[in-house]
């Protein structure tokens, strides 16, 4: 349920209320009983889980994997991590 922010025009108190979308807005301050104004506030929104970032959908193309196999390795023995390298 959304969190709404109100401000009392008389006592200048600001307070938050959790309400349903279908609920009517508050009209009276819970402390003094005078009229309140509904404020526009920033919403908090977080995307959690995988799939929300560019790096989550990184795809390796077939051309980069095939071209890396054909490259020659100039690393000393045991230092190359390429799959096609004969020095490992």
- 21-80 tens-digit pLDDT: 899 999 999 889 999 999 987 766 667 666 666 666 666 665 555 444 545 555 555 555
Does residue 3 surpass a pLDDT of 80? Answer: yes
Give the predicted TM-score (pTM) of the model: 0.47
pLDDT of 52: 66
Cα distances (angstroms) measured from residue 46 to each of 20, 35, 43, 71? 20, 33, 10, 44
Distance CA 65, CA 59 (A): 11
pLDDT of 6: 94
Contact 23, 12 (CB under 8 A): no
């Amino acid at each position: 349920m959304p969190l709404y922010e109100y401000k009392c025009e008389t006592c200048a108190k600001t307070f938050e209320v959790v309400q349903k979308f279908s609920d009517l807005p508050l009209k009276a301050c819970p402390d003094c009983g005078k009229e309140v104004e509904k404020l526009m506030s920033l919403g908090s929104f977080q995307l959690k889980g995988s799939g929300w970032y560019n790096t989550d959908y990184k795809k390796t193309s077939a051309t980069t994997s095939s071209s890396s196999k054909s490259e020659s390795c100039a690393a000393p023995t045991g230092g190359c991590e390429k799959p096609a390298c004969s020095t490992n």
